[in-house]
Amino acid sequence: MTGPGPSSALSRRLLPPVVALLAALPVVSFRPDDLYIYLRMVANVLSGQGWGFNPGEAVNVASSPGWFLVLLGLGAAGAGGTVAAQVVSASCWALAVRAIDCLGELLAGDPRAGLAAALAVAADAWTSRWLYSGMETGLAVAVVTWAAVLRLGSPPGSRGDRASGLLLAIAPLVRPELLVVSVAALVLDLLAGHRRRAFRDGMLLALVGVSWTAFSLATWGNAVPQTMVAKGSLGARNIGALAAAGRVLLVIASTQGIALFLAAATAATRGRRGGGALRDAARWFFLALGLALLAYATRHVRVYTRYVLPLAAPLVALGFAGLAAWSRERGRRGGVVLGLALAATLAANALLAGVRVIPRTRAYARSMATFVVPLAERIDRELPPGAVVATPNIGVLGYVGKRRILDLNGLATPEIVPFKREGRVPDFLAAHPPDLLVEIGPEPARWGGDPAFPLVLEETDRFPFRGMFVAGPEVTWWTVYRVRGVRGPRRAGPGGA
């Protein structure tokens, strides 16, 4: 009997990326507010208005320097904008899913493991949310997973091994928390006696880090992205330490609980005995996960799904590889168990996506299109060029509205961060009054009543679609206040205050 032909093998390799692209089509219109933060910064750089979100204000608001550079390159080539960002993010996800396939097959020596892991990640409810988002998540998953494939599948000192070291060096530029993956690799190399590779990869990591730090200091006067300063620090308890760490495990378990359990079982059994890539991967991936839990906990960071996917995807490959290795020892019955585990994972993700993730993601996209973008367009038409808009949702209002933004979250306005931590934001606004304040939250008209910072309610209403946020309230309100007698743009039709 002959094996599968070239066309059959090609079809199997293409199946998971195609599944990923098709599964995400229901939310192809999803463009998060953060995407417009990148695009506003890119537009300012290309138009000569400085390296910041607000023209002339050098503040690094890009949480992913690598993705900012990708979008900057697209813009410089004349391919900027939301559609180009979405196409590139989807392409990165296709490469990432292919990498998961390769990693699973490599770890188990069994193509069934690769196919199962790749399909599990392709149909992941969170993958569907972020695939066409225009954000860096797919690139982060691709960089980490291909680094693992090259490192675990190549002899030390080979071309593939050196390429893995380079990917691990640039991974923190794609997502800062991916430094834990690079550090975990260095630690395990030192413990295993691979000092030459540890030195080489350590030097690469240091070279990239020093180069970016020097560029950041020269450009922004700060080596740390403002997102890290505003969202989490050793002195800011935005969320409890256990809650911050627990959210990482919760995000993984919500869509890949079976794979996480299988990966833990693999690490506990085959990670202690035996050898080869499966053992090395178990040690590497779980050490990286442990370091990530520690980092999030100590910095009290509220973790979002796109932060966790680059850590979860290799664990999915490890879990299904461990199950495939186990199933080979049990013949047909083991194959049935592998198939059932995959089927259960796909069913759980389809249920979560259909009941919560897709409906709420679509509600977010429709609400942005029907309110936030039109409001930003009215700001651009009706407010004078020197006007200032205060808001915690800075992306669309800044990119489309083209006015200076006073960021209530502190990303584009670093000066407000100490006031925010002390609960004195009205004091800051009283000293630096904007012309308009736009609030988006679970309650209407929460601002006002402070004599030091008088506001005039301009309009307030519910967003037209319920459940904008996956983990947020069912009903979200938007409220616009006029400040200092400046007449803000009004919405046509009923709903104005």
Kindly indicate the confidence band of residue 489, based on its pLDDT and cuts at 50, 70 and 90: low
Share of the chain above pLDDT 70, in %: 92
Choose between 463 and 495: higher pLDDT. 463
Choose between 337 and 484: higher pLDDT. 337
Kindly indicate the confidence band of residue 491, based on its pLDDT and cuts at 50, 70 and 90: very low
Q: Is the pLDDT of residue 490 over 60?
A: no
Quick one: CA torsion of 334, 101, 258, 329, rounded to 10 degrees?
A: 20
DSSP string, 186-228: HHHHHHHT-HHHHHHHHHHHHHHHHHHHHHHHHHHS-SS-HHH
Q: What is the pLDDT of residue 274?
A: 47
Alpha carbons 77 and 54: distance in angstroms, whole number = 23
Strand 477-482, strand 388-391: pairing: unpaired
Q: Is the pLDDT of residue 231 over 80?
A: no
Q: What is the pLDDT of residue 242?
A: 86
Most confident of 182-196, 218-232, 437-451: 182-196
**Backbone φ, ψ for residue 461 (5° rounding):** -170, 165
Lowest mean pLDDT among 143-157, 204-218, 264-278, 309-323: 264-278
DSSP conformation class of 314: H
Q: What is the pLDDT of residue 471?
A: 81
Choose between 447 and 152: higher pLDDT. 152
Mean pLDDT confidence for 321-344: 92
Q: What is the pLDDT of residue 495?
A: 34
Q: What is the pLDDT of residue 193?
A: 92
Mean pLDDT confidence for 77-93: 96
Count of Cβ atoms closer than 10 Å to residue 46 Cβ? 12
User: Cα Rg for the chain, rounded, in angstroms?
Assistant: 24
pTM for the structure as a whole: 0.92
Q: Is the pLDDT of residue 486 over 70?
A: no
Mean pLDDT confidence for 261-271: 87
Q: Is the pLDDT of residue 251 over 90?
A: yes
Q: What is the pLDDT of residue 270?
A: 67
Q: Crossing angle, helix 159-174 and helix 65-76, to 10 degrees?
A: 90
Kindly indicate the confidence band of residue 494, based on its pLDDT and cuts at 50, 70 and 90: very low
Q: What is the pLDDT of residue 7?
A: 66
Q: What is the pLDDT of residue 449?
A: 67
Q: Is the pLDDT of residue 192 over 70?
A: yes
Count of Cβ atoms closer than 10 Å to residue 354 Cβ? 12
Model confidence pLDDT, tens digit, residues 32-65: 999 999 999 999 999 999 999 999 999 999 889 9
| Residue tagged 């994972």 (tokens) | 345
Task: Tell me what percent of the chain is helix, strand and coil, each rounded to the nearest 5.
Answer: 65, 5, 30
Model confidence pLDDT, tens digit, residues 378-423: 999 999 999 999 999 999 999 999 999 999 989 999 999 988 888 8
Mean pLDDT rounded to a whole number for the chain: 90
Q: What is the pLDDT of residue 2?
A: 47
Q: Is the pLDDT of residue 492 over 50?
A: no
Strand 388-391, strand 436-441: pairing: parallel
